[in-house]
Structure 1
Amino acid sequence: MDRQQAREIAGNGLWRQNAGLVQILGLCPVLVISSNIVNGVSLGLATSLVMLVSGAAVAALRQFVPNELRSPIFILIIAALVTVVDLMLNAYVHGLYLVLGIFIPLITTNCIVLARAEAFASRNGVAQSALDGLMMGLGLTGVLAVLGALRELIGHGTLLSGIDLVFGAAAADWVIHVIPAEAHYQFLLAILPPGAFFGLAFLIAGKSALDRRAARRVAGPEVMAGSTTVGRG
């Protein structure tokens, strides 16, 4: 895998084929867990780890897997990795594990994980598949982080709420109160799943606007060059 190929894979996962904003996959965790940054990023990183290792494992075993048994075997590999992640979270960050709940085991059935195993890892080498899985997972994590920040900020007036579930009780002071706690501020729509739909729609619209602006910047010099050539002719 050369640098250009790695750059292409990273660009696709993080932006051009972003799982949350372009492929619109994995909506269940995106809409439910993204109530704050900590929950969203934690589940996103867990998904990224599963995608990285499952991509590499599927790519390494693809030559030995009969075509008619691909999906069951891929799901078995993903389920085994999710079980490992589930046990690790339960052992080391039990409070966060309780908050994420059923959505950790549900990584097994996440469309993003199986889709990348089928569409990419089963057709490419180990290094490319591992990088693709990691970048796709980090692309989803970025969406969960931004969406979680928006919902938490608008819904509670805070940022990093629940950080103590990851780093211990001492991290409780790391919570940023944009609106003072004494105000008892709360905007319920942002906290509930409908708020996630609105937030995700704004993020998709923002990405589309940025893509159109980038396309105009690229097309601008070409249009000018074409006009100059016609004028000279």
Structure 2
Amino acid sequence: MKFSKLVAAAAIAAGTFAVSSAQAHAIWFAQRATQLSLIYGVGADDLDMLKRVPLLNNYAAYDAGYKPVPVKLRPAGPLVLVDVDGPSTVLTADMDYGYWSKTADGQWHKKGRDEVPAAVVSEHTRKYTVAIRGPLTAPIPVLPNQVLQIVPVGTALPDLLDKPMTVRVLYEGKPVAGAIVQNDYINDPDNPGMRTAADGTATIKVRNQGFNVLAATYNGPTDNAAKTDRVVHLATLSFTLPHAPE
């Protein structure tokens, strides 16, 4: 079956799955059996990304000069594989997860406040990801469609775990104070993280001598007061530290 047909079928199912928290899950790129994949999940839980394909707004690949490189998505069971036509330094994607309302019984409903007037909180959730795939020869710029974006300060990533790393969180291309940054979204997704300073920066310790996924969360103003109290933006930044030679 062609990918377009799978997407159409998945669109029917996209509104039917439940989550324990509307903002808890994120997207990121990762290797699965030597194949590059776009992942949706939280912690060690990789969920069915194929269902969420209709919620993607954009995905892109960029070379070392941050010029676009052709990229395609391809289904493989519950995985969504990523085929890049040429060397890439950075990959991006963004997802609109829609309107969600939480009622007093703790349940989340995929509806706005206009449909759930008794909700204790209503939000619009959006998700973004940037993956560093190669050496950086220039600082990562503000990338298209990344309303919330985590960027390393400078071009040199740490080469060992426990080393400090300073990142800046950008909202609509500008540094934002008060965003929460977590240094290990996969192995410790419940850690409280730290808040960014006035210049949007936070200095974390790199947790893994291998694959790392940082996350930043920022609650922005509502984009529809009748439906939601806020827009919850969740961005990830992933990179891999090399292991010692075998």
Shorter-chain TM-score tier? under 0.3
Q: Higher RCO, 1 or 2 (CA under 8 Å, sep at least 6)?
A: 1
TM-score by length of 1: 0.24
TM-score by length of 2: 0.23
Structure richer in strand, relative to its length: 2
Point out the structure with the larger helix share: 1
> Which of the two has higher C-alpha Rg?
1
